[in-house]
Structure 1
């Protein structure tokens, strides 16, 4: 067979096909085959790409932030593909907005100097220790976040230019004093009013509902009478904590664990050095020669700290005589670190060292030797570690055995419970919207409503619910989705219709009272017939919670004339309120400081609106293309 393949690959047609493949590589380029699917753009904004890599990174960062902030609530939403699609679209919209702002800032000529960036970095609390900038912490934080110093400075430059544009908008937006005073007076204004509440339940006996109306409501709203699928499940749950109390450990096991984990109890040697950095610049050879000249001065006895302040390009450490504080292995550039650790005695100075950042002269200033925590100091920690490991091993073995008996004897959980040494728990009927806490994980819920498990009535697989928690369940009872018959819901529909008719009757009666008040008539007898009395309240503010938001909103729409000083309002509780404005109270003259603060808030609100409008304008005039 191999011989035939070899002969076929040397034939005329094989030669033609090979030639076509070669020509396709020549004209299209190998890079197009390799990179087309990897580096393609997610969108272009006025000809500038937003790469798929950038979108994916922003998406993952935002998703991680949401997961850490909202936990299970976000995890439940993330299970919906439609939601994740909209979530990703929101991230892309933000990247597009940022790109438009960057382009607008560039067109406006906005810039940030190196000195401004340095000052901003020094003032960032993330890089401070005891309120002061710490270069060692700065480098550690950058490495943890995946930044190199140059890359972080570029990131800061972009961010500061964006803020420069937003601050320019905030700085140019303003609120006039007269405008501020008028808006303040409106917001701080209070009102005197009287009001009464008409209970709709008092009108329920005055209305009737026919069978035809009940049937019509049922047919119109039939979807609302669909029931949810419900199940009742029996389950056996086993966790690591169930096994831990019975786990025993020996002294030998603890000592073996200590020796195996010795690196965890060891503090590596740390070193403190000062350095002088000469960056490559445009003339690497010249930079190296300058470093050699400085080293000559150091060897001649010149003060290292003074030379660092004068020549070092690492301005942060130069201000401290070149000191970069304590560091351990793996924290610095490899060439720098190797040289620093090769110095034998405090005060020793290295030769000129080349790193990715430039040429260094390194002086060893202090050493913290390696330290090992004694066995007895960590014995309790070791006991916990060994117990957990042994319990995990036992849990895994029990998981395998539980899986076997759940499969071999699928029609009950007795054998599974015996293996786990845990009781069988049976739930009441529940729907997907009221799942018991023990079954609230997505994996357990999905198993409880699995169509095959419901139909066959067999045990589930062993469900690994995370955090060393196992479960086997089976559905013992279920109710399918269905539409309730009219006879089942007739009484509830009647109550709904009676309530609606009572609200209409109460509103009509209350409106009659309002009309009488507007015409100047006395309504005392009407109120007495329903055992209703006026209530009066002085100095009602817009934030008053007693009257309810609906009543407040209508009250502050009313005028002082008899023709428009009364309103009928439906309340959230279902009752009807008649409110009458008695007096509008102007606020006392505010202190100038209060008015100044209000004016700044008003200007800030305007600036936010302006910024949003700027984005809308940029999007409207931009050439934006989004790719699937």
Structure 2
């Protein structure tokens, strides 16, 4: 059959048909790909393009940064397509701002010289070793970050230019000492107040909610009665802990692992020595002559400790007769270490040893021989390690097989469960915001609410949840978003309206009290009818949290004038407060350091506001076009 097809495809008719097909592609799909720009613009700013490639690169970089910083929290947000769309738009807005800044810098004639760029790069800590610029490290770091030297210099030129412009703007702002003093006085002043709280609950009996009002509220706020999508999921989960009880480890495997890692169980020989140190000074020959004279005294039987106290410039050890405590190989100067480990017996004394620190005489005072932990002492530790390794290997093998059968047999989980030797677990219906514990990770939730998995009724890909935990799931039931019927929500709407209308009634009553106060009337009978009394509080600061933020904010807007010293405030708890300022207490005289700090903060705030407003003015006057 294949031969007949091959022969037919060589005929004149077949060639004509094939030619017509190809010709039609040119005028249809394929032609459009050939003629389209691979790097089309995402936006144009004053005639200059921001490419889609640039947007995608910036988007991926920002997304990676957010995932690294916020982990699962960001991954959960990233499962929402609308959020990602807004996130991408914010990245594009940032690119637009940067383009405007670059254009403004060019128009102002700001330039950065090659020498300035080079100096900046040389001073960057990322490219230094021991405080000095290292060219090899520079090239390695650039390659890791995806830069070539030329492209990195261009990047640095742009960044430094932007910094010059921002510093020029920010550097022009300042705050006067008088401004700082006034700001401090306002910030540090306190107020004496009296207040009373009118409970909205006390007016609920006066409220009547009609069916028409419920219907109106429902229609006005109908979007708030949309339900969340719900899914019921069947899943198979496999963890390393599931496999460990089935993993067998032989005695030979344990012994082999012990031998392979025996270095981990060895404690190297350590030595304890005393020494006498003389520095080279300005005359190395004189120092050597002196140390040799001291050595001759040691050999003549003079006490080593006394000589160390008298002559050694290592004052810390000299106080202890030259003792420098225990050390192992690799801890001391190479020449010192070699000499110390060359001494055969406790009490032996070296010849004069020259190191980077000076001339030494070394006396061996003790030896800790090399030790190796016995196999029996570490057998359990080794068994756990070998078991974990074998378990991870088994888990990896099962992971490959689970992924294969989940894909090859997509309409049920039976084979996946058989491979994992785990049961299929089915959940109740749940929303994305209230998932079962096993499915609470962002990866599992994204799979459970994936449109393709739901619509096609197929298994998910194998999900690696981290910490040696694997899962395959499928959606067995899906309850789409819908708008609840009025009958379902009328009771809750009534409760909402009762609270709103009660609050409104409480506010009106409190307002009547305020009117009476401003008219000079006595409101004590009205307060008594509601069993309400004034409360007082002295020296209330702006940071006080007892009154509540709404009341506190209003308190510091009031004056001592009787016409403007009282206000009605809705509290965050759903009640109403009548608050009155009785005295304004001036701040204590500030110290000069406090004023200096306020002056710097004011200048910084002004500079930030100036920069933001300048950038907004650039956007307002620019021709910006965003492409879908």
| TM-score using structure 1 length | 0.66
Displacement after TM superposition at 1:428 (Å): 4.1
Secondary structure of the 2:37 match is coil
Residues 257-406 of structure 1: matches in 2 within 5 Å? 385=389, 387-397=391-401
User: Take 1:541 and 1:233, find their aligned partners in 2: how far apart are those partners?
Assistant: 54
Counterpart residue number, 1:580: 580
Secondary structure of the 2:589 match is coil
User: Given that residues 225 and 483 in structure 1 are in contact (C-alpha distance below 8 angstroms), is that contact kept between their aligned partners in structure 2?
Assistant: yes
Residues 547-626 of structure 1: matches in 2 within 5 Å? 547-626=547-626
User: Given that residues 234 and 473 in structure 2 are in contact (C-alpha distance below 8 angstroms), is that contact kept between their aligned partners in structure 1?
Assistant: yes
User: Given that residues 406 and 472 in structure 1 are in contact (C-alpha distance below 8 angstroms), is that contact kept between their aligned partners in structure 2?
Assistant: no
User: Take 2:444 and 2:236, find their aligned partners in 1: how far apart are those partners?
Assistant: 12
User: Take 1:227 and 1:67, find their aligned partners in 2: how far apart are those partners?
Assistant: 29
Secondary structure of the 2:431 match is coil
Which deviates more from structure 2 when the two are superposed, residues 526-535 or residues 445-454?
Answer: 445-454
Counterpart residue number, 2:350: none
Secondary structure of the 1:563 match is coil
Matched, 1:146 2:140: no
User: Take 2:213 and 2:422, find their aligned partners in 1: how far apart are those partners?
Assistant: 55
Displacement after TM superposition at 1:102 (Å): 2.3
User: Take 2:220 and 2:89, find their aligned partners in 1: how far apart are those partners?
Assistant: 37
Counterpart residue number, 1:332: none
| TM-aligned CA distance change 1:81 to 1:180, over 3 Å | same
Which deviates more from structure 2 when the two are superposed, residues 100-109 or residues 195-204?
Answer: 100-109
Residues 171-210 of structure 1: matches in 2 within 5 Å? 171-210=171-210
| TM-aligned CA distance change 1:496 to 1:473, over 3 Å | same
User: Take 2:622 and 2:222, find their aligned partners in 1: how far apart are those partners?
Assistant: 48
User: Take 2:102 and 2:391, find their aligned partners in 1: how far apart are those partners?
Assistant: 56
| TM-aligned CA distance change 1:516 to 1:130, over 3 Å | farther
| TM-score using structure 2 length | 0.66
Matched, 1:497 2:497: yes
Q: Which has the larger radius of gyration?
A: 2
Residues 503-522 of structure 1: matches in 2 within 5 Å? 503-522=503-522
Matched, 1:464 2:457: no
Displacement after TM superposition at 1:134 (Å): 4.2
Counterpart residue number, 2:537: 537
| TM-aligned CA distance change 1:592 to 1:99, over 3 Å | same
The aligned length equals 492
| TM-aligned CA distance change 1:423 to 1:80, over 3 Å | closer
User: Given that residues 244 and 388 in structure 2 are in contact (C-alpha distance below 8 angstroms), is that contact kept between their aligned partners in structure 1?
Assistant: no
Displacement after TM superposition at 1:418 (Å): 6.0
Secondary structure of the 1:603 match is helix
Displacement after TM superposition at 1:573 (Å): 0.5
Secondary structure of the 1:110 match is coil
User: Take 2:226 and 2:160, find their aligned partners in 1: how far apart are those partners?
Assistant: 56
User: Given that residues 231 and 429 in structure 1 are in contact (C-alpha distance below 8 angstroms), is that contact kept between their aligned partners in structure 2?
Assistant: yes
Displacement after TM superposition at 1:515 (Å): 1.6
CA displacement 1:251-286 (0-9 Å, x = unmatched): 99999999xxxxxxxxxxxxxxxxxxxxxxxxxxxx
Counterpart residue number, 2:370: none
Displacement after TM superposition at 1:116 (Å): 3.5
CA RMSD in angstroms comes to 4.5
Secondary structure of the 1:542 match is coil
Unmatched 5+ stretches in structure 1: 25-31, 259-375
| TM-aligned CA distance change 1:126 to 1:520, over 3 Å | same
Displacement after TM superposition at 1:517 (Å): 1.4
User: Take 1:41 and 1:226, find their aligned partners in 2: how far apart are those partners?
Assistant: 38
Unmatched 5+ stretches in structure 2: 1-7, 259-374
User: Take 2:595 and 2:249, find their aligned partners in 1: how far apart are those partners?
Assistant: 71
Counterpart residue number, 2:112: 112
User: Given that residues 75 and 442 in structure 2 are in contact (C-alpha distance below 8 angstroms), is that contact kept between their aligned partners in structure 1?
Assistant: no
User: Given that residues 463 and 472 in structure 2 are in contact (C-alpha distance below 8 angstroms), is that contact kept between their aligned partners in structure 1?
Assistant: no
User: Given that residues 441 and 465 in structure 2 are in contact (C-alpha distance below 8 angstroms), is that contact kept between their aligned partners in structure 1?
Assistant: no
CA displacement 1:567-621 (0-9 Å, x = unmatched): 1111111111000111122222222222122112212222222222322333344
CA displacement 1:325-349 (0-9 Å, x = unmatched): xxxxxxxxxxxxxxxxxxxxxxxxx
Residues 44-59 of structure 1: matches in 2 within 5 Å? 44-59=44-59
User: Take 2:114 and 2:521, find their aligned partners in 1: how far apart are those partners?
Assistant: 78
Residues 161-172 of structure 1: matches in 2 within 5 Å? 161-172=161-172
Displacement after TM superposition at 1:563 (Å): 1.2
Counterpart residue number, 2:159: 159
User: Take 1:454 and 1:41, find their aligned partners in 2: how far apart are those partners?
Assistant: 35
User: Given that residues 444 and 463 in structure 1 are in contact (C-alpha distance below 8 angstroms), is that contact kept between their aligned partners in structure 2?
Assistant: no
Counterpart residue number, 2:437: 437
Counterpart residue number, 1:368: none
User: Take 1:539 and 1:181, find their aligned partners in 2: how far apart are those partners?
Assistant: 20
Secondary structure of the 2:547 match is coil
CA displacement 1:405-464 (0-9 Å, x = unmatched): 995xx6xx78865653434545444233311131235675477568999999x9956753
User: Given that residues 254 and 383 in structure 1 are in contact (C-alpha distance below 8 angstroms), is that contact kept between their aligned partners in structure 2?
Assistant: no
User: Given that residues 249 and 387 in structure 2 are in contact (C-alpha distance below 8 angstroms), is that contact kept between their aligned partners in structure 1?
Assistant: yes
Secondary structure of the 2:430 match is coil
User: Given that residues 231 and 475 in structure 1 are in contact (C-alpha distance below 8 angstroms), is that contact kept between their aligned partners in structure 2?
Assistant: yes
User: Given that residues 459 and 472 in structure 1 are in contact (C-alpha distance below 8 angstroms), is that contact kept between their aligned partners in structure 2?
Assistant: no
User: Take 1:621 and 1:481, find their aligned partners in 2: how far apart are those partners?
Assistant: 43
Secondary structure of the 1:600 match is helix
User: Take 1:390 and 1:241, find their aligned partners in 2: how far apart are those partners?
Assistant: 12
Secondary structure of the 1:584 match is strand
User: Take 1:111 and 1:455, find their aligned partners in 2: how far apart are those partners?
Assistant: 57
Displacement after TM superposition at 1:81 (Å): 3.8
Displacement after TM superposition at 1:538 (Å): 1.9
Secondary structure of the 1:50 match is strand
User: Take 2:480 and 2:51, find their aligned partners in 1: how far apart are those partners?
Assistant: 48
| TM-aligned CA distance change 1:525 to 1:130, over 3 Å | farther
Displacement after TM superposition at 1:481 (Å): 5.8
